[in-house]
Amino acid sequence: MNVMLNFEERKREKQLLYERKLLRELSIEEVKKSMIVHFNRMRIGVGPLEEGVEEACFDVAIEAYLNGGEFSRFTIHGETIEMVKKRSHREITHFIDTLYYFWLYWDFEKRMISDEDIFIACEHFVDYWWINGYRKGERRYKLRLH
């Protein structure tokens, strides 16, 4: 006898399966290198980013990556990356704001970095990971690996 699932449960299972497949292609070392590249000017001293900041950057990078991979499904319908980016503008803005406010909170008392520099770095970081996820997802759809 088969177990019946409702539509929402089935949709969530498929989404989780796709995310797991997409995350297999994500390298932690690549995320660390990206953090160094994007937030190098904001590092205090010579050492690596503090653990809390690094963790927040990881979370946002993974979320942006998965979101880009999820929205890559519109490639099948002939949409360009610019069209898809407009479609996911709300989510991208949320990721940027989340990371930006975290950096503001973390640098609250030190005030070593200008707000504009923080925002630009966060914007580039999120954009980089969204596009990276989009490209990986697009490739998976083209190869019919979804």
Please report the DSSP string for 97-125 in residue order: HHHHHHHHHHTTTT--S-HHHHHHHHHHH
Is residue 131 situated within a structural domain? yes
* pLDDT at 119 > cutoff 60: yes
Q: What is the pLDDT of residue 134?
A: 94
Q: What is the pLDDT of residue 46?
A: 43
Q: pLDDT tier at 61 (50, 70, 90 boundaries)?
A: very high
Tell me if 96 sits within 8 A of 102, measured CB to CB.
no
Is residue 27 situated within a structural domain? no
Is residue 72 situated within a structural domain? yes
Is residue 129 situated within a structural domain? yes
* pLDDT at 47 > cutoff 60: no
Is residue 7 situated within a structural domain? no
Q: pLDDT tier at 4 (50, 70, 90 boundaries)?
A: low
Question: What does the alpha-carbon distance between residue 91 and residue 73 come to, in Å, rounded to a whole number?
Answer: 16
Is residue 23 situated within a structural domain? no
**Predicted TM-score (pTM) of this structure:** 0.85
Average the pLDDT over 42-70 and give the result: 80
Q: What's the number of domains the chain is made of?
A: 1
Give the mean pLDDT of the chain: 85
